[in-house]
Chain A
Amino acid sequence: MSQDRRLHVTIRKARHLEEPSRLVERIIPLLTKYRRVIIDTQGFRRGELLEAIRPLSNKNIWATIIVYSGEKRTSEDYDEEITVS
């Protein structure tokens, strides 16, 4: 894991696509490379969002992860930005 690398992830929930938690599971392998990960989520109801991020709690993840509902674009610079939907 890099000392300072930052990742920005946007997770968009598309209708009839897949279980919300699967979207989060897809990004977990990426997280090992970063120290800090900001996740913006779009299209989730609140309860759905908490269910969706359960894999973050179950897994042994070393990065700090901050999850927002809706867009929380900060002035921080990210080393990488990805969108999953």
Chain B
Amino acid sequence: MVDERFDVVLSVDRTLMSNHHGKEFLGFLATGPPVMVPERVWMAVAAPRVKVDDLGRPLEAPYGLRKIEAALLDAGIKAAVIDPDHLGKHLKNAKVLGIGHHDYFALGPPSSEWWVLTGREPVNSKCFKKFMEKPEIRTAKKNGLKIIVGGPAAWQWLWMPEYADKWGVDTIVEGEAEKAIVQLVQDALEGKPLPQYVHVGIQDTPVLNEIPTIKNASVNGLVEIMRGCPRGCRFCSVTLRPLRQYPLETIEKELRVNKACGLDRCLLHSEDILLYGADGVRPRPEPLIKLHEMARRHFKIVGWSHVSLSAVKYAEENHSLVKRLSEIILQDEHDYIGVEVGIETGSPRLAEKTMPAKTAPYPAASWPSIVKQAFSIMHESRIVPAATIIIGLPKEEPEDLAKTLELIDELKEFRSLIIPMYFVPMGVLKNGEWYRVKPTGIQLEVMKTCLKHDLRWIKDLSGWYFNKTNPFVKISLKTVIFLVERVAKWLRLLS
């Protein structure tokens, strides 16, 4: 076996260190507790182990960890992402353990919602706690290992200080860390005192040429095409970051890294794919067509992370662009592409209060109509939106939820999934009993309507989604869907 020592080990628990069988959406199962199957089966479906090399380095790893790894390597620091099952041999020598996570304690959406509804802790949080309790981490900590945590869920440590204490977390880093991490790690390696908390401000947020190119493959070939978002929604933290668009050459470098590592697919990532090269919030054909043609030259399977519904409507109405892009990336007439979109509310009043720019260039008053038209466009172009609805937004009234119910009903003919997210105001976390906050009657009605919508379309989509999926996953998921449907019928949720 090759012997190589790393001063910095980057890792995370299995729910994120997985390629989810090549299907990103399966990863979302880890945000809930197991449903009608044992936890081991649930985990095997949501987050199987990834292939590793002789040193325990995963073939694919979360993109955020890959960016931090690249920043440290570029600074001449010996760092590597290591699979959680292979930490032992590296932590004996490492001086720093860096951890990044989307949802350490299941306080973010949709985990918090499943916790509220079921009263059971989601597997992502349980799995992370087990990860932190690993004997190899505990032993290394006793021997002086420094632990630095970050990622989009870094804020959660401030609400769970007892765990930071218990596990000896040295530094919490909030914000984009590619620049800040280098100094922190250098200080740790030199034995200097570390701060307890770093909030990376705007001027220390990396500009484009300070964001390193990944050196090793990301999960399912994810590559970022833009950072930040111009829409300014009040419930979203991405919006607080400056907007940066990578040039095509930079994106292509990362596509090549993933291809060289043997990946057969790519997932273009941005808060709004259609705003790549846009004129403000108005999509433009040329940059988007070039981007997609380039991605297709490297990979047969090209996916999208997120688009906004107003951009879908504008792009199609003004340039027939959604159809054109779907023709580039969908070569088979039986194929589909899935993408995350945000409906959030069916109420124009609430849309205007919480996300006025999300509807731009259209007025917030026409939000329900924008949503319907965008769903119709995507349905025609074989794009399947996995849409979020936020329940419990500040200043939400029952009338707003009634409008949301109306809208969901009007979307029933469009191939899609609609996922209700529970907005958990930070204030309720204080009393430690936040997961017992129950939804109101009309909030439950919205959730039931979403379930009804989803069960209908899951059946329709399962042929495509399970195509080329391993039999174990196919059988497990079909069993869960069957049982959920039976229980929902028994509880008269689908009547």
Contact = CB atoms under 8 A, between A and B. Distances in A.
B199 A50 contact: no
A53 B197 contact: yes
Nearest to B168: A46
Interface string A60-73: 11111111110010
B279 interface: no
Is chain A's binding surface mostly helix, strand, loop or mixed? mixed
Contacts of A36: 201, 204
A61 B193 CA distance: 25
B195 A68 contact: yes
Contacts of A1: 203
A50 B240 contact: no
A47 B201 contact: no
A48 B162 CA distance: 9
B158 A63 contact: no
B199 A72 contact: no
A57 B203 contact: no
Contact of B158 (A54, A65, A66): A54
A3 B161 contact: no
B164 interface: yes
B202 A46 contact: no
A65 B201 contact: yes
A46 B199 contact: no
A10 B155 CA distance: 22
Contacts of B180: 64
Given A50-B157, A64-B204, A57 B199 contact: yes
A58 interface: yes
A68 B426 CA distance: 24
Given A53-B158, A57-B155, A66 B195 contact: yes
A35 B198 contact: no
Contact of B199 (A51, A64, A69): A64
B197 A50 contact: yes
B199 A61 contact: yes
A67 to B, nearest CB: 4
Interface string B134-155: 0000000000000000000001
A60 B203 CA distance: 14
A54 B429 CA distance: 12
A72 B201 contact: no
B203 A46 contact: no
A66 B203 contact: no
B174 interface: yes
A48 to B, nearest CB: 8
B174 A60 contact: no
A66 B198 contact: yes
Contacts of A61: 199, 201
Interface string B426-438: 1000000000000
Contacts of A49: 161, 196
A56 interface: yes
Contacts of B174: 57
A66 B137 CA distance: 26
A62 B202 contact: yes
A69 B193 CA distance: 10
- The interface centre, meaning the residue of B157, B164, B174, B202 with most chain A CB atoms within 10 A of its CB, is B202
Nearest to B192: A72
B362 interface: no
Contacts of A50: 157-158, 161, 164, 172, 196-197
Given A35-B201, A62-B201, A72-B195, 8 more contacts: A51-B161, A57-B155, A57-B158, A61-B199, A61-B201, A64-B204, A67-B196, A67-B198
The 3 closest A-B pairs by CB, nearest first: A64-B201, A47-B161, A50-B161
19 contacts: A36-B201, A46-B164, A47-B162, A50-B157, A50-B158, A50-B161, A50-B172, A50-B197, A51-B158, A53-B158, A53-B197, A60-B240, A61-B199, A63-B201, A64-B201, A65-B201, A66-B199, A68-B196, A69-B196
